[in-house]
Structure 1
Amino acid sequence: MHKSKIEDESEVITDGKPEVWEVEPSRAARNCRNLIREIVDNLNLEPNPEKPVIALSIGDPTVYGNLKAAEETVQAVRDALERAIHNGYANSSGTSEARQAVAEYLSRDGVQFQQEDVILCSGCSSSLEHCIAALADGSKGQNILVPRPSFPLYWTLAEHIGVQTRYYNLIPENNWEVDLGHLESQIDHNTAAILINNPSNPCGSNYTENHLRSLLEIAYRHRLPVIADEIYENLVFPDQKFVSMASLDAYVPILICGGLAKRFLVPGWRLGWIAVHDPVGAFEKIRKALNALNQRTIGSNTLVQGALPAILKNTPQSAFDDLSEFLCSNAIVAFKKLQEARGLTPFMPQGAMYMLVEIHMDRFPMFNSGLEFTRKMMEEESVFCLPGECFTIPGFMRIVLTVPMMEEACLRIIEFCNRYYTK
């Protein structure tokens, strides 16, 4: 019987070894890099088998189980699940009830948000991604300004779409405030926005009202919108006050990024938001762009959206106070203990979940970088901190303040430093 052409070709393909061929990734995929993963995955970490690992590296407050979401927060999700009306798709920007709840939650200190000002996203990282993509255009050679040191995801989200990142310096000795002169020197005709993170990851800083006003004055002078990463809003130590940039009555359009992850201790619930603060009417087209960008993922978790009004209303202040006091207590322990480590200088934070510690590398000549320092500390003491290279600040390391065994971790760090310190 005569074989068809398709049958003949099938035999050719399957009879022998197939030809090797390769599919090239897109430019966007090639540009998508996670600095932390690139650095950490290449460290080949091997902890000391005789000491249990203490990970001071992960910004996930749930890792050790000592910090749990309030019962009221959890019950809100149980109730939403049992109602069985939040299992389908919703408006890509969020249900009206959930958006209204966020608007009311953020309306304080003289600022009033309406539900149309709020867009719900899949975590704060998604909120940041949409804001960068809406404001900056890589095809036009535009850039955004981000702090140094900073959360590396800013770089990832911008460079992925061809938007350049330009760094402005923070000053360690001034509670990591922005070097205002350096910030202004980084602005050029291609700058599309200034990103400000307060309270800060990795610095743990909490800016004063006066300092925030100085930043907004620069933004106003250059007619630049601001992306305010406030995922750690109100997560400050008991002697501190958090000030949202939207509350300062400046004539600067601001996109506020936040969410449930940190303050409510539920990062895996993936509920973030963008709140549009637009006192000058500059964001009419940006609002439409943000909603369009959010349509790519059809919005955030609808079950958590259903619980959101109750979460924001019923979670007691005592839960937030307890978290703040725990983090502050751990920060005090780490700050005092690490001053005993030769060759280290810790910087006391004012909020968030982190502390930066300077490594005086000239006192540790056997290590060529903070990467080598932190890897060796893991091998010998089973304590892992992220090296400053992850945050564009070599010669430092970041420690996370959420662990229950902070003093033990510090004692091991002290022992390691005193072992290798050279005068």
Structure 2
Amino acid sequence: MENGAGSGGPAAAWNFVPNDTLLGLTALSVRGVLGMVKAGIVEDEGAGARRVVPLGHGDPSAFPCFRTAPEAVDAVAGVLRSGEHNSYASCVGLEPARRSIAQYLSRDLPYELSANDVYLTSGCTQAIEIICSVLARPGANILLPRPGYMFYEARSVFNGMEARYFNLLPDKGWEVDLDDLQALADKNTVAMVIVNPGNPCGNVYTYEHLAKIAETTRKLGIFVIADEVYAHLTFGEKKFVPMGVFGSVVPVLTLGSISKRWVVPGWRLGWIVTNDPNGVFQRMKVVDSIKSYLDISSDPTTFVQGAIPQLIENTKEEFFDKTIEILRETVDICWEKLKGISCITCPSKPEGSMFVMVKLDLSCLQDIKDDMDFCCRLAKEELVVVLPGCAVGYKNWLRITFAIGPSSLEDGLDRLKSFCLRHSKSQK
């Protein structure tokens, strides 16, 4: 036998190559960018050693003060013990779970949703993946907020759809620049995305601003994708208003999950909901496309689906109130401590979600090239991880999460201040 023949050895030429589109998407992934930031960390060992402070992502579940409701745990444990939800579920999700979510969301709407308006997904991430696949067609474009969650761009680009960015206005509470939105839209624009409460900005939109968005998109002939994964996580003067309230003005696809309000991102249960009393999505075959995609994709775990009715019905308001109180405490800590860091400017105090955007003044710092360099060196020197603004489309800004234990947050922000002082030009 010749060398390599029949043994997996060298061949004259292989017929496959990597997908170049995938290889270019790491920069559009929060996980990918955080992985690069954390690459230089060497964590201290031993008793009393400094630990990494995770201010870069929105997963507070590791901190005891943010543990999920005991009723949620009991619901999942009961379903597992019953042995009744070990089988495959239907591709759109179990009907009792969908009905329960429809009733839960209808509390905030002027009309009643039905189970047929709800499609279950493996977290909100898969909901985004599905919608970007459903909308993709040659020449299509989608309007996305800047700064924003760039997973939308990653999925759009992967599906061959153009992503166009409209600006959010930091001096107006990160409202949508409606003039910018209208200037970007054309006959190939299919939808626009809003995230409310806001990731990464911590903004909460008023009823009046959402009404303007609805009227603007109706005139443009595009529908709204409302990412409401942080629904009801508000702690300022503005209360959460779902975009679905305006479903009779413009059709709305609402994306959500139990991940943030119940603090269980690892349970991977999300949804796509059609807020569309006028039946536009049915006529335009958007609903059929969603169902077709679900036919060829994976489902959320059946036992979590089975637990949803009891999880929603039994969770006490005290649990949600406690979460909000902790976030109110941590956002106050964050707001006050950021004021004391000279090279960082925070345009407004967050009123919702788990994040704040702050602007870096690189002119105050010695030998820091940009936001990515800042974050990598901060992680290496202080074991504090924050997300560089480039990961949300806002170069030389930072996204900081305050959804961690209060003492850890104080420690992390103190280390951030020490880092800035050490690299300040005035200290040289």
Helix, strand or coil at the partner of 1:205? coil
Aligned residues: percent identity?
Answer: 34
Residue 259 of structure 2 corresponds to 261
1:85-134 per-position Cα deviation (integer Å, ceiling 9, x unaligned)? 11101111011111100110010232310111111111111111112222
Q: Is 2:250 the counterpart of 1:252?
A: yes
Letter in 2 for 1:292: S
Helix, strand or coil at the partner of 2:155? helix
In the alignment of these two chains, the number of paired residues is 413
* Alpha-carbon shift at residue 338 of structure 1 (Å): 1.1
Residue 13 of structure 1 corresponds to 5
Helix, strand or coil at the partner of 2:254? strand
Q: Is 2:212 the counterpart of 1:217?
A: no
For 1:379 and 1:403, how far apart are their aligned partners in 2?
20
Helix, strand or coil at the partner of 1:273? strand
Letter in 1 for 2:155: L
Q: 1:387 touches 1:397 (CA, 8 Å); kept in 2?
A: yes
Q: Is 2:83 the counterpart of 1:84?
A: yes
Q: Is 2:40 the counterpart of 1:45?
A: yes
For 1:363 and 1:66, how far apart are their aligned partners in 2?
36
Q: Which moved more, 1:112-121 or 1:279-288?
A: 279-288
Q: Which runs of 5+ in 2 are unaligned?
A: none
Which of 264, 280, 283 does residue 282 from structure 1 map onto? 280
Residue 415 of structure 1 corresponds to 418
Letter in 1 for 2:314: N
Helix, strand or coil at the partner of 1:385? strand
Helix, strand or coil at the partner of 1:318? helix
**Bigger Rg over Cα:** 1
For 1:142 and 1:37, how far apart are their aligned partners in 2?
27
Q: How does 1:93-108 map to 2 (within 5 A)?
A: 93-108=92-107
Letter in 1 for 2:308: L
Normalised by the length of structure 2, the TM-score is: 0.91
Q: Which runs of 5+ in 1 are unaligned?
A: 1-7
Residue 337 of structure 1 corresponds to 337
- Alpha-carbon RMSD: 2.0
For 1:303 and 1:220, how far apart are their aligned partners in 2?
39
Q: Which moved more, 1:14-23 or 1:392-401?
A: 14-23
Residue 55 of structure 1 corresponds to 54
For 1:398 and 1:28, how far apart are their aligned partners in 2?
26
Residue 376 of structure 2 corresponds to 375
For 2:13 and 2:104, how far apart are their aligned partners in 1?
54
Helix, strand or coil at the partner of 1:274? strand
Letter in 2 for 1:90: A
Helix, strand or coil at the partner of 1:66? helix
* Alpha-carbon shift at residue 200 of structure 1 (Å): 1.1
Residue 4 of structure 1 corresponds to none
* Alpha-carbon shift at residue 350 of structure 1 (Å): 0.6
Q: 1:136 touches 1:193 (CA, 8 Å); kept in 2?
A: no
Judged with a 3 Å threshold, the aligned counterparts in structure 2 of structure 1 residues 12 and 57 are, in CA distance, closer, same or farther, namely closer
Which of 27, 31, 35 does residue 29 from structure 2 map onto? 35
Letter in 1 for 2:85: H
Residue 5 of structure 1 corresponds to none
Q: 1:55 touches 1:385 (CA, 8 Å); kept in 2?
A: yes
Q: 2:122 touches 2:269 (CA, 8 Å); kept in 1?
A: yes
Q: 1:48 touches 1:380 (CA, 8 Å); kept in 2?
A: no
For 2:425 and 2:275, how far apart are their aligned partners in 1?
52
For 1:15 and 1:125, how far apart are their aligned partners in 2?
41
Letter in 1 for 2:275: H
Letter in 1 for 2:269: L
Letter in 1 for 2:63: Y
For 1:411 and 1:291, how far apart are their aligned partners in 2?
49
Letter in 2 for 1:241: K
Residue 3 of structure 1 corresponds to none
Letter in 1 for 2:58: G
Residue 162 of structure 2 corresponds to 164
* Alpha-carbon shift at residue 71 of structure 1 (Å): 0.3
* Alpha-carbon shift at residue 42 of structure 1 (Å): 3.7
Residue 149 of structure 2 corresponds to 151
* Alpha-carbon shift at residue 65 of structure 1 (Å): 3.8
* Alpha-carbon shift at residue 204 of structure 1 (Å): 1.0
